[in-house]
Amino acid sequence: MKKIIITIGKNSQTIFLLIVLVIGLVILLNTIAFFYKKHKNPRFSQKEFLNNIFYKDQSQVYVLVRKKDYKVLFLSSHFEEVFHILPKRIQVDIEVLKEIVEDDTYRQFLKEYKQWNQQEPFKYSFKMKDENKWFILTITAIEHGKYHLFAFYDHSEDVLKELDYLQQIETTKNESEYKASFLSRMSHEIRTPMNGIIGMMTLARQSKQDAKQGSYYLQQAEDISKYLLSLINEVLDMSRMEAGKLELESKPFNIYHLKVQLNNIFKETIEKKNVLFKIDYFDFDVKYFMGDELRIMQILVNLLSNASKFTDNGEITVTFRQMYKEDKVANIMMRVHDTGKGMSREFLSHIFRPFEQEGVEISKKYGGSGLGMAITDQLVKLMGGEIVVDSLEGKGSDFTVFLNLPVAPSQEYEDEKEVVVEQFSFEKKRILLAEDNEINAEICMSVLNSKGAFVDRVENGQEAVDTFKKHAKNYYDLILMDIQMPQMDGYEATQIIRTMESGKAIPIFALSADAYVENKRYSKEMGMDGHFSKPIDFDVMEKELSEYFSRRDA
């Protein structure tokens, strides 16, 4: 009996497991049957079923079409989001798809679609109308062509990358062409005056018997060389501005001082042509502002040079007006008006391009490099300003510049103290000249000697230090120090001299081919008292030395 009971117990466990398996199998079969019936049920939503498959692929939009009547059977649920067409519209008429492309694109698509053999998937690329979106449409025939599945793949990112790449290639090509054109133009602009200088020097040398004629040729050579220097300066300015390396000063300046400078430069020349020239100021309640006076003058000189050049009668007017002032920053308008020849509307569209002139005849008649307006435009932008041009052929032109200039601190725009400038004389002055270039040294020594100075010349910074050290205090009145020299440059030599008791007060002025704001500032930071740019204008040198010694001794 005990054995039977044990056997029954074991059998009961087996029976229980069998019952559980049967119940599980019944549930599984019922579940399968349920889904099978549901999918077989025509009332079951094919749209929902297809959406479960396709909606996960957000880069594709699907449209399932019945071929015989082009009825839309299925539409991805994000169709409207991508193409901005209501689903019910395309379900009524599939031709609403033509709204997403240009007419020509749609006609070409229909032509190729009708020629499709349905053996391989049909592919067509297009761009959406009015949007930067590009799609690849793939149409696949299903069930022997009974249905067509449209799959729209958004490949805008790839296209945009390709367009960007092509744009970079085009930009590089344009830059190369611009550089080639620039160099070609520069070659012409530089060689022409150089040819003039060489020619005039040759004629001067051949005029030994006629001193007056020889002097005339030399004067012509000097005038041409000054033009060449101004051209080189303009090219260097343009290069630095395009490279973002041109620095502006921000120092207090008197806005009314611009009138004095402009009158000095232009008044006589303009009035000789019987053209009225006037400069007016309106609505200023302060006169001192912070800014780069030299560069503002450069803008005005460029504008007035053109006005003077192209105006033979009538008037030229320069107007300064304080438009408004807010938070100690004033909006200043500077306008140059002339009644000259004016400009065509076509030329105005590219007036600020480098080397642009209105025509060959203009270049021949009036000269100029065509860089002035490009530099003016760049300077105005660098100052955060705006330039507006208005011109009418035969009537004249208006160039209007707007700049926001901070008002100088109150102590800066009080009336300036008058400083009596005594004319500096080189007579009997002892000068230490540090210059490694033989030609530059010869020119400098000859000019200074002709003015009565005694000049000791050394060829590098170390020699300058040694020579200065071996002489007594106050032996030299002035040191003219070249910057780039072998063994020791001018900056290092200056700093060593400043450590000597006899060198603390000696005036040291830099001689350098670097003429920009940052160069002059750095010379001051290195202990120098001033900075003369090469080629040296000795009249300017005397003027600046006069101002320096007058301020120092005041």
Q: How confident is the model at residue 51 (pLDDT cuts 50, 70, 90)?
A: low
pLDDT at 193: 81
Average confidence score pLDDT of the chain: 83
Q: Which amino acid is at 72?
A: V
pLDDT at 196: 84
Higher pLDDT: 48 or 437? It is: 437
Q: Does residue 453 contact residue 428 with C-beta atoms inside 8 Å?
A: yes
Q: How far, in Å, CA of 545 to CA of 371, rounded?
A: 32
Using DSSP bridges, classify how beta strands 329-338 and 396-406 pair: parallel, antiparallel or unpaired.
antiparallel
Hey, what domains does the chain have and what are their CATH numbers? Answer: 57-156 (3.30.450.20), 169-241 (1.10.287.130), 249-404 (3.30.565.10), 428-551 (3.40.50.2300)
Whether pLDDT at 8 is above 90: no
Whether pLDDT at 5 is above 80: no
The string of pLDDT tens digits covering residues 439-479 is 999 999 999 999 999 999 999 999 999 999 999 999 999 99
b/e sequence 20-44, b meaning 16+ C-beta within 10 Å: eeeeeeeeeeeeeeeeeeeeeeeee
Q: How far, in Å, CA of 345 to CA of 326, rounded?
A: 36
Name the one residue in this structure whose structure tokens are 């200088």. Answer: 197
The string of pLDDT tens digits covering residues 30-39 is 443 444 444 4
Using DSSP bridges, classify how beta strands 430-434 and 454-458 pair: parallel, antiparallel or unpaired.
parallel
For the residues 276-288, what does the mean pLDDT come to?
94
User: Which of 61-75, 175-189, 446-460 is predicted most confidently?
Assistant: 446-460
Q: How confident is the model at residue 92 (pLDDT cuts 50, 70, 90)?
A: confident
Nearest to 532 by CA among 513, 507, 548, 547: 513
Q: How far, in Å, CA of 11 to CA of 15, rounded?
A: 6
The pTM (predicted TM-score) of the whole model is 0.59
Name the one residue in this structure whose structure tokens are 């031709």. Answer: 95
SS3 state at 482: strand
The string of pLDDT tens digits covering residues 495-517 is 999 999 999 999 999 999 888 88
Vertex 116 angle, CA 139 and 144, to 5°: 65
Instruction: Note the maximum CA span of the chain.
Output: 158
Q: How far, in Å, CA of 102 to CA of 92, rounded?
A: 21
Vertex 43 angle, CA 38 and 49, to 5°: 60
Whether pLDDT at 362 is above 80: no
pLDDT at 325: 92
Q: How confident is the model at residue 3 (pLDDT cuts 50, 70, 90)?
A: very low
Phi, psi of 140, deg, nearest 5: -115, 130
What lies within 8 Å, CB to CB, of 144 at 6+ separation is none
Q: How far, in Å, CA of 338 to CA of 319, rounded?
A: 11
Q: How confident is the model at residue 527 (pLDDT cuts 50, 70, 90)?
A: very high
The string of pLDDT tens digits covering residues 97-149 is 888 888 888 999 999 998 998 888 999 989 888 888 889 899 988 888 898 99
What lies within 8 Å, CB to CB, of 265 at 6+ separation is 301, 304
Q: Does residue 399 contact residue 385 with C-beta atoms inside 8 Å?
A: no
Higher pLDDT: 24 or 303? It is: 303
Whether pLDDT at 28 is above 80: no
Q: How far, in Å, CA of 403 to CA of 188, rounded?
A: 35
Whether pLDDT at 400 is above 50: yes
The string of pLDDT tens digits covering residues 335-349 is 999 999 998 888 888
pLDDT at 459: 95
